[in-house]
Amino acid sequence: MAKGKPWGGRFEQATDPTVERFSASIDFDRALARFDVRGSIAHARMLGAQGIIPEGEVGALVAGLEAVAREIENGSFPFDAALEDIHMNVESRLGHHVGKIAGRLHTGRSRNDQVATDLALYLREVSAAAQRGTLELRRVLVARADEHVDTLLPGYTHLQRAQPVRLAHHSLAFVEMLERDGGRFADLRARLDRSPLGAGALAGTTLRLDRERTARELGFSAPTRNSMDSVASRDLALEFLAAAAICMVTLSRLGEELVLWSTSEFGFIELADAFSTGSSLMPQKKNPDVPELVRGKSGRVIGDLVALLSVMKGLPLSYNRDMQEDKEPVFDAAATLRDCLEVMAGAVATLRVRDDRMRAAASDPMLLATDLAEALVREGVPFREAHEAVGRVVGHCVAKDLDLRTLSREDLRAFHTAFPDAAAALVDLESAIERRNLPGGPAKERVQAALADARVRLDREQSALEAAKETP
Ligand code: ARG
Instruction: Name which of 344, 148, 157, 360 is nearest 267 in CA terms.
Output: 360
Query: Distance (Å, rounded) from C-alpha 178 to C-alpha 261?
Result: 20
Q: Give the dihedral sign, CA 346/347/352/357.
A: negative
Q: Which of 61, 85, 107 is the last residue of a domain?
A: 107
Regarding whether 174 and 98 lie in a shared domain, the answer is no
Q: What is the residue with the minimal CA distance to atom 7 of ligand 1?
A: 111
- Please choose from 7, 36, 84, 85 the residue to mutate so as to test ligand 1's pocket, defined by most ligand atoms within 8 A of CB: 85
Query: Cα of 169 to ligand 1 centre, how many Å?
Result: 49
Domain total for the chain? Answer: 3
188 burial level (CB within 10 Å; 0-12, 13-18, 19+): buried
What letters, b where the CB count within 10 A reaches 16 and e where it falls short, cover 150-175? ebbbbbeeeeebebbbbbbbbbbebb
Q: What is the pLDDT of residue 146?
A: 98
Per DSSP, what are the bridge partners of residue 157? 160
Instruction: Please say which residue of 90, 107, 124 terminates a domain.
Output: 107
446 domain residue, yes or no:
no
Whether residue 269 is contained in a domain is answered as: yes
Do 63 and 116 lie in a common domain?
no
Determine the atom of ligand 1 nearest the C-alpha atom of 201: 10
Task: With respect to residue 3, please indicate whether it lies within any of the assigned structural domains.
Answer: no
Whether residue 198 is contained in a domain is answered as yes
Q: Is 2 left (phi over 0), alpha (psi -120 to 50) or beta?
A: beta
Judge if 314 and 375 occupy the same domain: no
Q: Is residue 12 in some structural domain?
A: no
Residues 278 and 213 in one domain: yes
What is the C-alpha to C-alpha distance for residues 407 and 428, in angstroms, rounded to an integer?
13
| Segment (H or E) for 156 | strand 152-157
How far away, in angstroms, is 319 Cα from ligand 1 center? 8
- Amino acid of residue 8: G
Residue 209 lies in a domain: yes
Pair 219, 284 in one domain: yes
From first to last of its 472 residues, the chain has per-residue pLDDT tens of: 345 667 778 888 988 999 999 999 999 999 999 999 999 999 999 999 999 999 999 999 999 999 999 999 999 999 998 899 999 999 999 999 999 999 999 999 999 999 999 999 999 999 999 999 999 999 999 999 999 999 999 999 999 999 999 999 999 999 999 999 999 999 999 999 999 999 999 999 999 999 999 999 999 999 999 999 999 999 999 999 999 999 999 999 999 999 999 999 999 999 999 999 887 888 888 899 999 999 999 999 999 999 999 999 999 999 999 999 999 999 999 999 999 999 999 999 999 999 999 999 999 888 999 999 999 999 999 999 999 999 999 999 999 999 999 999 999 999 999 999 999 999 889 989 999 999 999 999 999 999 999 999 999 999 999 988 755 4
Furthest-apart CA pair in the chain: how many Å?
Answer: 101
Is 82 a domain residue?
yes
Q: How far is the CA of 114 from the centre of ligand 1 (A)?
A: 9
Give yes or no: residues 198 and 222 share one domain.
yes
Of all atoms in ligand 1, which is nearest to the CA of residue 327? Answer: 4
State which of 84, 107, 130 marks the end of a domain. 107
Burial readout 243-266 (b: 16 or more C-beta within 10 A, e: otherwise): bbbbbbbbbbebbbbbbbbbeeeb
Q: Are residues 129 and 270 in the same domain?
A: yes
Give me the amino acid identity at 243: A
| CA 200 to centroid of ligand 1, rounded, Å | 12
The answer to whether residues 121 and 217 belong to one domain is yes
CATH of the domain at 460: 1.20.200.10
Ligand 1: atom nearest CA of 84 is 1
440 lies in some domain: no
Q: Using most ligand atoms within 8 A of CB, pick from 321, 323, 327 the residue to mutate for ligand 1.
A: 321
The CA 404 to ligand 1 mean position distance, Å, reads 70
Question: How much distance in Å is there from the Cα of 20 to the middle of ligand 1?
Answer: 13
Regarding whether 348 and 204 lie in a shared domain, the answer is yes
User: Are residues 72 and 180 both part of a single domain?
Assistant: no
Give Cβ neighbours of residue 4 (< 8 Å, ≥ 6 apart): 82, 83, 92
Please list every protein residue whose CB sits less than 6 Å from any atom of ligand 1. 25, 29, 85, 111-112, 115, 319, 321, 323-324
Atom of ligand 1 nearest to the CA of 85: 1
Which atom of ligand 1 lies closest to the CA of 86? 1
- CATH code at position 86: 1.10.275.10
Q: Which residues are marked as active site?
A: 158, 279
Closest C-alpha residue for ligand 1 atom 3: 324
CATH number at residue 385: 1.10.40.30
Residue 102 amino acid letter = A
Domain range holding 394? 364-434
- In a mutational test of the pocket of ligand 1, which residue from 119, 228, 324 has the highest number of ligand atoms less than 8 Å from its CB? 324
Together in a domain, 399 and 466: no
Q: If we measure between CA atoms, which residue out of 297, 293, 292, 291 comes closest to residue 245? A: 297
pLDDT at 1: 36
Rounded to the nearest angstrom, the distance between the alpha carbon of 268 and the centre of ligand 1 is 52
Name, in order, each residue with C-beta under 8 angstroms of 69's C-beta and a sequence gap of 6 or more: 34, 37, 38
Asked if residue 348 and residue 395 are part of one domain, the reply reads no
For ligand 1, atom 12: residue with the closest CA: 324
Using the atom order of ligand 1, give the atom closest to the CA of residue 323. 12
